[in-house]
Structure 1
Amino acid sequence: MLHVLFVCEHNSARSQMAEAFLQRLGAEEFAAESCGLEAGTINPLVVEVMAEEGYDLSEKTTRAAFDLLKQGRSYDVVITVCSQKASEQCPLFPGRALRLNWPFDDPSRLEGDREARLAQIRIIRDQIRKQVAAFIDEYKEKGLSMFL
C-alpha cells in the first residue's frame, strides 16, 4: 500500500477533497492523508459540495505539514494541490517520496455570491476527482515504475 500525502495552504479545501477521493477510489492501493502548510478551518462550502457527492467532511479537522514532519511521518508520494510557489514551501519528508504538484484554484480566494462560489467549487471538486482518478489509473498501469 502506498502512503500519499496531499498538501495545500491551509488544509481547508483542496487537500481535503483529494484525500477523500483517494481514500474512496483507491482504497485498495493507497492510504491517503492531507495537511496544510498551516492548519486552517475547513471551508463550509467545500463540505457542502462534497456532501452532494456522498462525502462527509463535516467532522474533519485540519493539520499542519510541519506537525506531521515532527512526528517523523514518511510518505511514498507527496502531492501539493496549490500553486507552484506555495508548494515550494512544503517541507521535505524523509524517504524517497515522489513529489508532484497539481495546481488547483484556491476556493478561499473565489469571488462572487454564495451560489457563484459554490458553482466554482464544484468545478474544482470535479477537476480534483478527475486528477485523482488519473493518478490511480497511472499507478495501476505503471506500478512502482512511476517512481523512476
Structure 2
Amino acid sequence: MAEKIYNVLFLCSANSARSIIAEVVLNQLGKGRFKAWSAGSHPSGEVHPMTLEVLQARGFDTSELRSKRWDEFARPDAPVMDFVFTVCDQAAGEVCPVWPGQPLTAHWGFTDPVKVEGDRDRKLHAFSLTQNQIVNRLRLFLSLPLVKLDRLAIKQEIDRIGQS
C-alpha cells in the first residue's frame, strides 16, 4: 500500500517570507511524504528577495515560488489540505476561509524578518534566523508518527510544536 502524502498549507499575511520558507523547506525535507504550499491573506505579489537569497544559499529550489492569495486553496478544485499552519500573528487572528476536508490547524508564529531594520547584514541575519527556526519546527513535525496517532493526539503535538 502506498504511503499517504499529506497536503500542508502555510499561511501568512503577505506570503513573501515566512510562509514561503516553510513551503520550500517542507517540500524538500518531507521527501515526497508531504506536499506543501503557502499563501497570504493580503499577498505582497512578490517573494522577498532576501527570502530567495537565504533559501538559495542552503540549496533550496526557488524557481517555482510566487506570492499568492489564500483563496486559491479554498476553491472546490484545490487540493484538500491535511494541515494548515499560520506562521504570523496577523494571519492567525484573521478569519480564514473554510478549508475543505477539515484540516488540522495550528499557529506557529515566527518574527517577521521583513520588518527588521538596519543594514543588509542585519536584515539577512534575521531571514537566516527565521529560516533556521522554521527548519527546526518542521523537523519536529516530520518526526511525528502520524499514522500511529489519532487526530486529537496529532492536534496536541502540532500545537506543542508551535509553542517551541
Once residues 36 and 148 of structure 2 are traced to their aligned partners in structure 1, the CA distance between those partners, rounded to angstroms, is: 17
Percent identity among equivalent residues? 34
* Structure 1 gap segments, 5+ residues each: none
Q: Find the residue that maps to 2:147 and give its secondary structure.
A: helix
Deviating above 4 A after TM superposition, structure 1's stretches of 4 or more consecutive aligned residues are none
Determine whether 1:57 maps to 2:62.
Answer: yes
CA distance in 2, matches of 1:102, 1:56: 23
Give the count of matched residue pairs: 145
Paired letter, 1:121: F
Aligned-partner residue type, residue 88 of structure 2 = C
CA contact (8 A) 2:12 2:18 kept: yes
Which amino acid in the other structure matches residue 145 of structure 1?
Answer: L
Corresponding position: 1:18 with 2:22:
yes
State the one-letter code of the partner of 1:64.
Answer: R
Of 76, 80, 83, the residue aligned with 2:82 is 76
Deviation at 1:106, TM superposition (A): 1.0
TM score, norm. by length of structure 1: 0.89
Please give the root-mean-square deviation of Cα atoms over the aligned residues, in Å.
1.7
How far 1:10 sits from its partner (Å)? 1.3
- The residue correspondences of 1:1-148 to structure 2 (distance < 5 A) are 1-40=5-44, 41-57=46-62, 59-73=64-78, 74-83=80-89, 85-89=90-94, 90-138=96-144, 141-143=145-147, 145=149, 147-148=151-152
Mapped to 1, the partners of 2:33 and 2:131 lie a distance apart of 22
What TM-score do the two structures reach when normalised by structure 2?
0.81
Distance 1:92 1:65 in 2: 11
What runs of 5+ residues in structure 2 fail to find an aligned partner?
Answer: 153-164
